[in-house]
Amino acid sequence: MKQECKVEPLAALQENKIAAFDMSARDFLVGEHGRCENPRLYRSVEPRLVRLHRRVSRKVKGSSNRDKARVRLARTYENIGHRRTDWLQKISTTLANEHDAIIIEALNVAGMKRWNGGIAKSVTLDFSWGAFVRMLGYKMAWRGKQLVTIDRFYPSSKMCSACGAVNSTLTLADRHWTCPSCGAMHDRDVNAATNIKREGLRILSEKGINVIKPTTNSTAGTAGINASGNPARPVTSMARVDERRIHVL
């Protein structure tokens, strides 16, 4: 009988090895010190899919030419799925190896499908947010690490990370905004990532997990700052994927 591998969760975490990310349709993941670009695996070949669909529709039903066109279309969709799975496996493994805890929002993906076509294509077809969260969850658990999800109603984007005021007038189109209470200027996604991390640290504390703050002269950590004052390891570097190893269409 196959036995499950039981890994004891880490009881103490280094704060500079805890990362928080805001999901962005354009950038996939946005952290406090970097971004990981949306691979656009579906939309990069969408014009080809349109042509293949058109060819299928123009063939005579029941003909061998229509069958051939349908096979070409099906194989294209299959290759997109293989590329997406390959990319997600690589990036989720990299993130799980790099961090002791990762904090993200619990998003309503089903709702996004209904009200915004652009976001829907990103979260379901370009990078598949649901599959990414599942992969990241079990890979973190295998390593005894923490994946913390923040309630989707937490106002991470509308809350000022400097003073805590909530800007209820903020819309999805506002990518940069100034806090009306304290005057702090924010990048919408970076501000959200900062608030997500703060809330995640609170949740970890409630779970009884000890979060160890770095010393003042420490230069280690993915989300830390190196000696020159620049981001030590931005998301784009941390989560880089070798595109040559991804199946091509």
**Distance (Å) of CA 241 to CA 21, 26, 88, 101, 221:** 18, 17, 10, 21, 20
Measured CA angle at 82 (ends 26, 129), to 5 deg: 35
Cα torsion for 220, 224, 228, 234, to the nearest 10°? 110
Say which residue the tokens 């570097």 belong to: 237
3-state secondary structure of 149: strand
Active site includes 174? no
Catalytic residue among 15, 22, 27, 32, which?
22
What is the number of other CB atoms lying within 10 angstroms of the CB of residue 22? Answer: 26
Active site includes 189? yes
Catalytic residue among 15, 27, 32, 105, which?
105
Give the active site residues. 22, 105, 189
